Amino acid sequence: NLQLTKEPKKGSEKNNSDHFLNDVLTGLQNSPKHLSSKYFYDKTGDELFQKIMQLPEYYLTRCELDIFQNKTAELAKAIRSNDEPFDLIELGAGDAMKSTYLLKYLSEKGTDFTYMPIDISGNILSILENNLKKQLPDINITTLEGEYFQMLKKAMKLSSRRKVILFLGGNIGNMTRKEAEKFCMSLHQLLNREDIVLIGFDLKKNPFTILNAYSDKSGITAEFNLNLLSRINRELDGNFDIEQFEHYESYDPITGACRSFLISLKNQQVKIAGEIIDFSENEVIDMEVSQKFSKPDIQYLAEKSGFSIAGEISDSKDWFVDSVWKV
Ligand code: AVJ
């Protein structure tokens, strides 16, 4: 059994690694075993995700880029309200490659806003900040490193301006349907009357297209998953033998759940921070869900959580949609 001594907080660093250890041990002591995909994004994970976005199979980024490059005016119109200044908060901003098109457009139109990117990776946030300061030096930017809700609450306290929330890239897909409902309900409670949410949904489509996007030929997605085991080795004194785990992807076209697993290739024991975890041959670790949606699924989620849909902006293939939600 896990015993964590409760020490007084030594800054957020210590606290974060405690959470990481706790989540990892709890997840791996569960049945089925589970690890949270939010921990994919250390420096190596950030780099691997950048590579994923370049993969020919990974269509999501290109689809949403199509929207941000070619429907920028439509996006701007959806989020502006008269000339009222606002805070533009992006959940899981990453390198902000897509949103930069919108930022540039807004800035050129003389819009008064502060950009507040939230991300769990401090590494990618500092890359983002450096890039933006070079590309768009006139933009006000406040980066927030941490979990979505903690940082959102912080942003709500920082100013009382109208809020526009960007939740792009299909990041919401990393939640199960139930988790997404809860998340959207809490978001709705936190926001005020005039606030707007722009959420990106990856749409259900040919199952092969989806499956291939998450099981690329070059094996980068496999590496992306396995990197979490390496990260546990590095940061939590683990001894995973990475060679003894294999990536497996599945897509269920009925539920729209695309799921990522790591299979243990033999009976083995792994030590993490002194704790021993037993794996039997062919036992899996549930690593990630990337949920896909139909338009009615989106409608249902919006209404269930108290929002109303004010618009829908899709790419030219209609594979991805940025949905505009009013409180
Ligand atoms: C960053 C959550 C949008 O689920 O499509 C990419 C992460 N995982 N390939 C996704 C991911 C495997 C990605 N999101």
Write out pLDDT tens, residues 12-58.
Answer: 555 777 899 999 999 999 999 999 999 999 999 999 999 999 999 99
75 Cα–ligand 1 center, Å: 23
What are the residues facing 309 on neighbouring strands? 325
Distances (CA, A) of 194 to 77, 151, 198: 14, 20, 13
- Cα distance between residue 321 and residue 295, in whole Å: 9
pLDDT of residue 16: 76
**pLDDT tens-digit profile of 45-88?**
999 999 999 999 999 999 999 999 999 999 999 998 778 899 99
pLDDT reading at 4 higher than 50: no
**pLDDT tens-digit profile of 129-181?**
999 999 999 999 999 999 999 999 999 999 999 999 999 989 999 999 999 99
Average pLDDT over residues 235-243: 97
Residue pair 158/144 in contact (Cβ under 8 Å)? The answer is no
- Cα distance between residue 327 and residue 321, in whole Å: 19
Q: Assign residue 274 a region (left: φ > 0; alpha: ψ between -120 and 50; beta: otherwise).
A: left
Strand residue runs (E) in the chain: 33-34, 86-91, 113-119, 140-141, 144-145, 162-167, 196-202, 245-252, 257-264, 268-272, 275-279, 284-291, 308-314, 320-326
24 Cα–ligand 1 center, Å: 20
pLDDT of residue 24: 98
The residue whose C-alpha atom lies closest to atom 4 belonging to ligand 1 is 290
Specify burial of residue 64 (Cβ count, 10 A radius: 0-12, 13-18, 19+).
buried
79 Cα–ligand 1 center, Å: 25
Assigned token pair, 327: 């409180």
The residue whose C-alpha atom lies closest to atom 13 belonging to ligand 1 is 171
pLDDT reading at 3 higher than 60: no
Q: 């199509």: which residue's tokens? A: 66
pLDDT of residue 187: 97
| Dihedral Cα 15, 21, 22, 27, nearest 10 deg | 150
136 Cα–ligand 1 center, Å: 27
Average pLDDT over residues 227-240: 97
SS3 326: strand
Residue pair 230/239 in contact (Cβ under 8 Å)? The answer is no
Average pLDDT over residues 104-111: 95
290 Cα–ligand 1 center, Å: 6
pLDDT of residue 13: 52
Closest atom of ligand 1 to CA, residue 224: 12
Instruction: Report the share of the chain in percent with pLDDT over 70.
Output: 96
The residue whose C-alpha atom lies closest to atom 14 belonging to ligand 1 is 171
pTM of the model as a whole: 0.92
Show the ligand 1 pocket: residues with CB < 6 angstroms. Answer: 52, 60, 169-171, 173-174, 214, 221, 224, 288, 290
Cβ within 8 Å of residue 185, ≥6 positions away:
304, 305, 306
Instruction: Centre a 10 Å sphere on the Cβ of residue 149 and count the other Cβ atoms it contains.
Output: 14
Of 174, 176, 217, best ligand 1 pocket probe by most atoms within 8 Å of the beta carbon: 174
The pLDDT-based confidence of 10 (bands split at 50, 70, 90) is very low
85 Cα–ligand 1 center, Å: 32
pLDDT of residue 8: 44
pLDDT reading at 184 higher than 80: yes
Average pLDDT over residues 202-222: 98
The residue whose C-alpha atom lies closest to atom 9 belonging to ligand 1 is 214
The pLDDT-based confidence of 291 (bands split at 50, 70, 90) is very high
Cα–chain center distance at 217: 23
Query: What is the overall mean pLDDT for the chain?
Result: 94
Closest atom of ligand 1 to CA, residue 174: 2
